[in-house]
Structure 1
Amino acid sequence: MDDASLNDRMAGLTLERKVRLLTGASMFTLRGDDEIGLEPMAFSDGPTGVRGLHFTDGPLTALFPNATLLASSWRTETAEEVGRLLAEEAERQQIHVVLGPTVNLHRTPLGGRLFEAYSEDPLLTGRLAAAYVTGMQSRGIGACPKHLVANEAETERHTVDSVVDERTLRELYLLPFEIAVEDSDPWTLMAAYNDVNGTAATEQSTVNNAILKGEWGWPGLLMSDWFATKSAGPAANGGLDLVMPGPMGPWGPALVAAVEAGEVDESVIDDHLRRLLLLAERVGALDAPRGWRTDLPEPADDVRREQLTRLAAQGMTVLANDGVLPLAREASVALIGRLALETTCMGGGSASVRAPHQVSIADGLAATGAGVRVVDGVAVRNRARAGDFSMRVQLYGASGALISDTVSGEAKVAVGMPEQELPEPATRLVLSATVPAGAMRVGVLGVGSATVTIGGASYDVELASESDDIGGDFLRPPGWQTDVVLDEPSELVADVTVGALSRFGLAAEPTPPTDDDAIAAAVAAAAAAEVAVVVVGLTEEQETEAFDKATLALPGRQDELVSAVAAAARRTVVVVNAATPVLMPWRDEVDAILWAGLPGQEGGHAVAAALLGDIEPAGRLVTSFPAADGESPAWDVVPTDGRLPYDEGVFVGYRGYAARKAAPPAYWFGEGLGYGEWSYGEVTLDGSVVSVEVTNTSARDSREVVQVYLQPAEDDQPVRLVGWTTVDVFSGSTQAVDVAIDARAMRTWDDGVWRPLTSGRLLVARGLGDIRGEVAL
């Protein structure tokens, strides 16, 4: 649509009507306007699945492997496929825009939300993001790369000032957005919560107007993160186009007044509205309602399950293997660990979805017919979590009247959402569900005062807020739990007086064994089996929005469990069920390590396929694994006096390790073994293409990721990834591989302009810990 047509549509609108369209209508929807042919639009969170319009009890939707696991394939084809599949999930729910991908970098391994983001490298992140956007938008669904910019930690995320020098901002944190804009033209982007160098991201005119919309020539719509907008005039002038959520917000009458007072020119409002109308045209929400497809796969059908199993298994990474993997199908296996039984398939926060199922590793291995004995492990959680069952939800208003009585398909409920239509605000809720007989651990989640009754016992509970974050108690609510023994099925009831915005829920699960008993049982099972497979890792307590980690150590006594099993077993394999780095003090005690990420709804099937070699786990790490807490070029996530300095500058991740800014990592970015073995030939350079022959010297067909890094000649320039190619090679075969060098990685920001780097060495490597050849630039 040309500008003249857009101007005609807007000509009859009053200023008030224009401004009204620039704030959401509800939590995830936008208003329409019949006079200009604008239909309402719907947005959904989406990094690991399209949740839809509801935080709880929404429709079932496919749960994808997390972003770091998908990125570990290093395949743009995978990212593009994921974009197409998520577009199908969006179309099935009539969603116009999916809020993803997350393209913030893994600056420090303590970041709680890293599981949503691709990697520590801007080139890898940017090209994968561009492929994802291309795949999604090819199906007419808008993508929304986020969060612009310097949003690499969660602590004090709404107020923190990220202090970043211009060179670092350009070369690292803006580069993934630049690549996505240049290569895929995303229809929307999202501005972050934080400040950058003293100015809110939603008001960053230099980034939003001068760079994004000016220098890069981007025509799309820039929306705020939810509740991120702090002002009317400064945000409107600073390049923000849309405030989310609605219907209330800081714009409305305040923005109208700012225009009338001359603080904001009405042409600025018109530009914001043009961008909104262009988005509407692109997603089929202009002039007529979009026709939605109805022939799409359901989340649990065989097509989707095969896709999600394959995508997860292909990204899994073999970090160590003395030949025990792939497992012999006839071997007797002791499968050990709480996460074998309760596999963490997704992270917490806005990336969580209501999946049709989540296959555990125990169920996945059992389904293969392999001889497996399953043994529980030590505790991995410290907090109550909502159960996997339905519950009755009764809401009461301040008047004492019952204002809602429903059954939720999940044991959690959101209260006070903008789209909830209640005669008065809910101040009290009664949650109830039937709990089976036996030894059970039961509890309640939320913020407020609760009376919990079960099996004739009653408990008075005070649940205090644990977060200053506006959504912290909603995304990870506090909880209380206790152990009971029930002679018969009993009703669990929590009568809660609401204390603050929170998510509420019930917890009920069989009482687990003590850690000492679990370790003893694991040792006995390991000694009796040919192979012990121990599953350890993290949960949504550590990998979640709104909270950062304080350590990379595995929670609880998981390290002790691994060492005890390794001492008793003939062969020991460790599966790490985590999206981000963890410490592995036992890594020299075991025979193999498989990093499995957060593998999505088919996680157990994917891990089984990887362990047995049905699908090669040919992933390569997308972030470096430190050898100890604190041993990372960037570490701290806690601001000092509200400021978080990016003092490491451009020496983030592997760049910093290679420059000896920290002790060598336990595992390098780009590292991974797969099930093949490789030899490399001579490296040559022709223009901007590096060529090398690779030979698969193993007895298995395998996939290799040929990585090329630039080591600049200048001392103040870090090594950096400049290109890569993935290649599938038959056993015993040799293949010529060409790697195109990306010019956007071959430059430095120097006194306000880009300067190409023209001298140094190009390193061909399997991660910087395994350099296979080089050529002078």
Structure 2
Amino acid sequence: MKYKELIASMTLEEKASLMSGKDFWQSQDIERLGIPSMFLADGPHGIRKQAVAADKLGLNAGVPATCFPTAATVANSWNPELGEKVGEYLGEEAITQKVNVLLGPGVNMKRNPLCGRNFEYFSEDPYLAGKMAASYIRGIQSQGISACVKHFAVNNQEQRRMSIDAIVDERTLREIYLTAFEIAVKEGKTKSIMSSYNKLNGTYTNESLHLMRDILRGEWGYQGTVITDWGGSNDRVAGLLAGNELEMPTTGGETDRDIVLAVRGGELPEEVLDECVDRLLDLIFTTEAVYRRPHIDFNVEHHHRVSQKVAEESIVLLKNEDGILPLKFGKKVAVIGEFAQHARYQGAGSSIVNPTILDHTMDCFEESGIISIGYEQGFERYGKKNPKKIEKACALAAKADVILLYIGLDEVTEADGLDRQNMRIPDNQIDLLDALYRVNPNIVAILSCGSAVEMPWIGKVKGLLHGYLGGQAGARAILRVLSGDVNPSGKLAETYPLHYEDTPSAPYFPGNEVTAEYRESIYIGYRYFDTAQVDVLFPFGYGLSYTTFEYSDIRVNRDGVTFRLANSGSTAGMEVAQLYVGCKSREIFRPAKELKGFAKVFINAGESKTVTIPFDDKTFRYFNVKTDSWEVEAAEYRIMIGASSADIRLEDTLFVEGTGAPLPYDKDKLPSYYSGNVRQVGAVEFEQLIGRPLPVADWDRSRPLGYNDTIEQCQYAKGAIARLAYHGIVFAHWFLRKIGKRSAANLIMMSIYHLPFRGIARMTGGAVNMPMVDGLLMMANGRFFKGLRHFLKQRRLKRRAERA
């Protein structure tokens, strides 16, 4: 232990106190021993440190900070160096705001397009997500603070996220859902990790000895700190035994007392507590740059320009019929769409940033060189239909050479705590597009959203530019691509299916009341579409340029692959060359191809470069459930270089010696997995894959409500008051949406509807403790007066103890 002497000087109570927050955003300090508190702040794409009420959770406006493009956007750059630059600037601003731990980046997989938090995550591919995350971490931690990779692990839906049990086979867990975290730990060397809310195969993730000790600490050698998601602690002692050091936010000392009692009762060995304290102290003292450095304001304008550069390199050109882009000099454009006037530039919820500057399209035209003949709103932002706005837009469109149509998803559709209901953009925007097409077919759509959407309307646009969520300078970045000042080089970090129903996880998402079954196994995203040969709208890795690239002269050896890449067009540009590997053996089920490397290369017009993509320890491995370890199958492997997962330009083969491991599966019992057609996997076959019977998926209505049951499940409560409360919440949500207060309606779903009863204690900063929750449960379970007396009694006892 690094801090053995300091720990020896602590009382048991002091050690326990360090394991929980001081308030909602700070860790506990011990003044007599010179141990300061740390400040933790949201910030995957910008610092969110609340300007007021910093001791409360809330969603108050943050101190102004640069709002960089979200992770889903920057992943489209396929440029880890750019990610590291973003991290450096995030770290610099964190230092300015005295933030020790920046809560990001998020590396959960995009298992399903409807996950409401996909805008915060990089990719459907763990290799790309891991490489981008590691670059962010290196940048953030270069400034002397800590990144905090989240959410560990298998947190791929927002619905019931604090109670859902993710049922995943071990191989899928390792290859798909843990690989990005592994890269973040081993290559990024993150100092802290945030555990997720959910259960994994029956155990809360922060209490899972297999996840936290066997894999994270054991296999990966992680020495850093694990922090709960806010309110994510279930059994505090079990969390410490697993190695989850810091519980956030504060519980008003309640779980401190649980720790002390557990040590004195022999349930928690004090040496285990000492190890946890030691790791937390290391995080505190290695982020001391926050305290040492004098306050220096960051250069707001410079950071804004960096944000613009990042957005420019992350924009994806999806369609360019008749070469409508870049816009020809002198073309008159009509600008239509609410998002042109008021940019859609970030997601909603815990990561929302208060930008230092905010560019809007209509304010940036003069410097772009594009000739605008006017602007019309065209549609209501939150979906309400307005024929008059469409009429005005059509009148303007009739006078233009080209229409720039700004469409996408609104802020309350993509949000922390909620999943999307469908993959469509609002009907009122499609009505507008249909009307414009009848007037003037020269339409360039600029799409703003943080996740995949269906596009049955794509035949009515000649150009399609996807800006994702481009941060505070995204509007200007888009104009620079439209004008041709910037040659687009972004490529999709996720697949765009033709229809949501084509998604392999669609039949199993978001799961039932108790469990979410990952029956599709390793086949997510392009791994499924390419293997099952399902047509898609846009494949993984796809993106157009204003120039063309030619691939040639592939050479493969045991160290990697080398090839020539030439810019055969007339414009300098950047190309993302992608390495995919496919095993030709059929003894173990595998995707047709998997991303194993990539390189982003700048090439001037008419020039060519030699590109080398090396193999690494992940190129040929698979996880063998019989040996419980990573193995290599002896086989011929297809080595593919492509411009996307569906556009393979070069191919060779390589025989790789294996590790001689026994075959892990009985092929005859897993026909869906060996074929790749996993959209209708039966329960018996899935049980064969996971090696155990499936747990009950629906809530048992015959039993009383408990700590881990949610407010939603009060609909089954024996107590009439609980059922009435449930219906009151449902009505309030419906009514708020009806009157247009969608943000308030979302807040009800985020903070109340899916909150487990224990969360009432864990998220109120000690205002409500677990004995008081016992009283609430008694009332919910039909013993109203007994429960009310118990609640009031425990509240009196709590207040008396606080006064004492």
TM-score by length of 1: 0.80
Give the Cα–Cα distance (whole angstroms) in 1 for the partners of residues 240 and 408 of structure 2: 44
| Residue in structure 2 matched with residue 709 of structure 1 by the alignment | 580
| Residue in structure 1 matched with residue 596 of structure 2 by the alignment | 722
Pick from 135, 139, 146: which aligns with 1:135?
139
Pair 1:89-2:89 in alignment: no
| Residue in structure 1 matched with residue 650 of structure 2 by the alignment | 773
Write the deviation string for residues 728-773 of structure 1: whole angstroms up to 9, x where unpaired: 0001111111111232142100121111245220111111221111
Pair 1:381-2:400 in alignment: no
Pick from 45, 64, 73: which aligns with 1:60?
64
Pair 1:620-2:488 in alignment: no
Give the Cα–Cα distance (whole angstroms) in 1 for the partners of residues 538 and 84 of structure 2: 28
Equivalent residue letter for 2:264: E
Question: 1:279-318 alignment to 2 at 5 Å?
Answer: 279-284=283-288, 290-298=291-299, 301-318=300-317
| Residue in structure 1 matched with residue 730 of structure 2 by the alignment | none
| Residue in structure 2 matched with residue 412 of structure 1 by the alignment | none
| Residue in structure 1 matched with residue 482 of structure 2 by the alignment | 611
Pick from 639, 662, 670: which aligns with 1:762?
639
Give the Cα–Cα distance (whole angstroms) in 2 for the partners of residues 326 and 38 of structure 1: 57
| Higher mean C-alpha deviation, range 59-68 or range 741-750 | 741-750
| Residue in structure 1 matched with residue 336 of structure 2 by the alignment | 336
Equivalent residue letter for 1:657: F
The alpha-carbon deviation at position 42 of structure 1 amounts to 0.6
Equivalent residue letter for 2:525: G
Pair 1:519-2:393 in alignment: no
Contact 2:441–2:461 at 8 Å: present in 1 too? no
Write the deviation string for residues 123-153 of structure 1: whole angstroms up to 9, x where unpaired: 0000111111011111101000000000011
| Higher mean C-alpha deviation, range 763-772 or range 193-202 | 763-772
Write the deviation string for residues 98-132 of structure 1: whole angstroms up to 9, x where unpaired: 00000001110011000000000000000111111
Pick from 244, 247, 258: which aligns with 1:243?
247
SS at match of 2:281: helix
| Residue in structure 2 matched with residue 157 of structure 1 by the alignment | 161
Contact 1:123–1:745 at 8 Å: present in 2 too? no
Give the Cα–Cα distance (whole angstroms) in 2 for the partners of residues 629 and 120 of structure 1: 15
The alpha-carbon deviation at position 642 of structure 1 amounts to 1.1
| Residue in structure 2 matched with residue 45 of structure 1 by the alignment | 42
| Residue in structure 1 matched with residue 320 of structure 2 by the alignment | 321
Give the Cα–Cα distance (whole angstroms) in 2 for the partners of residues 40 and 194 of structure 1: 28
The alpha-carbon deviation at position 672 of structure 1 amounts to 0.3
Give the Cα–Cα distance (whole angstroms) in 2 for the partners of residues 302 and 6 of structure 1: 42
Q: For the structure 1 residues 253 and 340, does the alpha-carbon distance in structure 2 shift closer, same or farther, using more than 3 Å as the test?
A: same
Give the Cα–Cα distance (whole angstroms) in 1 for the partners of residues 438 and 500 of structure 2: 25
SS at match of 2:407: strand
| Residue in structure 2 matched with residue 31 of structure 1 by the alignment | 28
Higher strand share: 1
Write the deviation string for residues 421-440 of structure 1: whole angstroms up to 9, x where unpaired: xxxxxxxxxxxxxxxxxxxx
| Higher mean C-alpha deviation, range 30-39 or range 585-594 | 30-39
Give the Cα–Cα distance (whole angstroms) in 2 for the partners of residues 318 and 564 of structure 1: 24
Pick from 124, 128, 136: which aligns with 1:124?
128
The alpha-carbon deviation at position 367 of structure 1 amounts to 4.3
| Residue in structure 1 matched with residue 500 of structure 2 by the alignment | 629
| Residue in structure 1 matched with residue 722 of structure 2 by the alignment | none
SS at match of 2:151: coil
SS at match of 2:468: coil
| Residue in structure 2 matched with residue 364 of structure 1 by the alignment | 364
Q: For the structure 1 residues 250 and 129, does the alpha-carbon distance in structure 2 shift closer, same or farther, using more than 3 Å as the test?
A: farther
Give the Cα–Cα distance (whole angstroms) in 2 for the partners of residues 318 and 255 of structure 1: 55
Give the Cα–Cα distance (whole angstroms) in 2 for the partners of residues 361 and 765 of structure 1: 35
Contact 2:144–2:286 at 8 Å: present in 1 too? yes
TM-score by length of 2: 0.77
Give the Cα–Cα distance (whole angstroms) in 1 for the partners of residues 261 and 106 of structure 2: 35
Equivalent residue letter for 1:521: K
| Higher mean C-alpha deviation, range 68-77 or range 233-242 | 233-242
The alpha-carbon deviation at position 703 of structure 1 amounts to 0.3
Give the Cα–Cα distance (whole angstroms) in 1 for the partners of residues 70 and 409 of structure 2: 13
Equivalent residue letter for 1:30: S
SS at match of 1:682: strand
**Identical residues among aligned pairs (%):** 32
Question: 1:177-256 alignment to 2 at 5 Å?
Answer: 177-248=181-252, 251-256=255-260
Pair 1:653-2:525 in alignment: yes
Give the Cα–Cα distance (whole angstroms) in 1 for the partners of residues 212 and 147 of structure 2: 18
Pair 1:694-2:694 in alignment: no
Give the Cα–Cα distance (whole angstroms) in 2 for the partners of residues 544 and 669 of structure 1: 24
Q: For the structure 1 residues 745 and 154, does the alpha-carbon distance in structure 2 shift closer, same or farther, using more than 3 Å as the test?
A: farther
Question: 1:274-673 alignment to 2 at 5 Å?
Answer: 274-284=278-288, 290-298=291-299, 301-322=300-321, 323-372=323-372, 373-381=374-382, 515-635=386-506, 636-660=508-532, 663-673=534-544
Contact 2:550–2:565 at 8 Å: present in 1 too? yes
Give the Cα–Cα distance (whole angstroms) in 1 for the partners of residues 40 and 134 of structure 2: 20
SS at match of 1:297: coil
- For structure 2, which runs of at least 5 residues remain unmatched after alignment? 655-804
Pick from 53, 73, 78: which aligns with 2:77?
73
- For structure 1, which runs of at least 5 residues remain unmatched after alignment? 383-511
Equivalent residue letter for 1:741: F
SS at match of 1:145: strand
Give the Cα–Cα distance (whole angstroms) in 2 for the partners of residues 698 and 295 of structure 1: 46
Equivalent residue letter for 2:595: L
| Residue in structure 2 matched with residue 267 of structure 1 by the alignment | 271
Aligned residues, how many?
A: 638
| Residue in structure 1 matched with residue 613 of structure 2 by the alignment | 739
| Residue in structure 2 matched with residue 175 of structure 1 by the alignment | 179
Give the Cα–Cα distance (whole angstroms) in 1 for the partners of residues 619 and 653 of structure 2: 17
Contact 1:232–1:258 at 8 Å: present in 2 too? no
Pair 1:753-2:754 in alignment: no
The alpha-carbon deviation at position 369 of structure 1 amounts to 4.4
Give the Cα–Cα distance (whole angstroms) in 1 for the partners of residues 640 and 254 of structure 2: 51
Contact 2:369–2:483 at 8 Å: present in 1 too? no
| Residue in structure 2 matched with residue 491 of structure 1 by the alignment | none
| Higher mean C-alpha deviation, range 726-735 or range 603-612 | 603-612
Give the Cα–Cα distance (whole angstroms) in 2 for the partners of residues 598 and 67 of structure 1: 9
Write the deviation string for residues 565-587 of structure 1: whole angstroms up to 9, x where unpaired: 23322521111111111111121
Contact 2:69–2:311 at 8 Å: present in 1 too? yes
Pair 1:112-2:131 in alignment: no
Higher helix share: 2
Give the Cα–Cα distance (whole angstroms) in 2 for the partners of residues 616 and 293 of structure 1: 41
Give the Cα–Cα distance (whole angstroms) in 1 for the partners of residues 367 and 514 of structure 2: 51
Q: For the structure 1 residues 329 and 268, does the alpha-carbon distance in structure 2 shift closer, same or farther, using more than 3 Å as the test?
A: farther
| Higher mean C-alpha deviation, range 367-376 or range 71-80 | 367-376
Equivalent residue letter for 1:753: S
- Taking CA–CA contacts closer than 8 Å with sequence separation of 6 or more, which of the two structures ends up with the larger relative contact order? 1
The alpha-carbon deviation at position 555 of structure 1 amounts to 1.5
Equivalent residue letter for 2:41: S
Give the Cα–Cα distance (whole angstroms) in 1 for the partners of residues 274 and 432 of structure 2: 62
Equivalent residue letter for 1:682: D
Give the Cα–Cα distance (whole angstroms) in 1 for the partners of residues 433 and 360 of structure 2: 19
The alpha-carbon deviation at position 341 of structure 1 amounts to 1.4
